[in-house]
Amino acid sequence: MKIMIRGLSRLTTEQKVLSLLAPYGLVHYFHLVMDPNTKNSKGFGFAFMPNPSQAKAAIKSLNGTEVDGQKIRVKKADTKAEENGHDQ
């Protein structure tokens, strides 16, 4: 299941997000979307967890939590948003 994580601090790294997701199950990848001009994080990214029940547990547990001083939003990804490379 594809997961979208929004509201990330510009300082939050891919490794940090992977470590947040890992306790819930296998994570195939997390891609932090970067601004091509500034090379800084845009504050959101996409993860893929192959087990839907583990992905749903991660969404339920992590949505609304604070990471690096920012309250994050975690939900099932809208495929169109991922293909366009931005959150909608």
Q: Tell me: the pLDDT tens digits for 18-55?
A: 999 999 999 999 999 999 999 999 999 999 999 999 99
Asked if 72 and 64 touch (Cβ cutoff 8 Å), the reply is: yes
What is the reported pTM? 0.84
Residue 88: how many CA atoms within 13 Å on its side-chain side?
10
Q: Report the C-alpha gap between 31 and 8 in whole angstroms.
A: 12
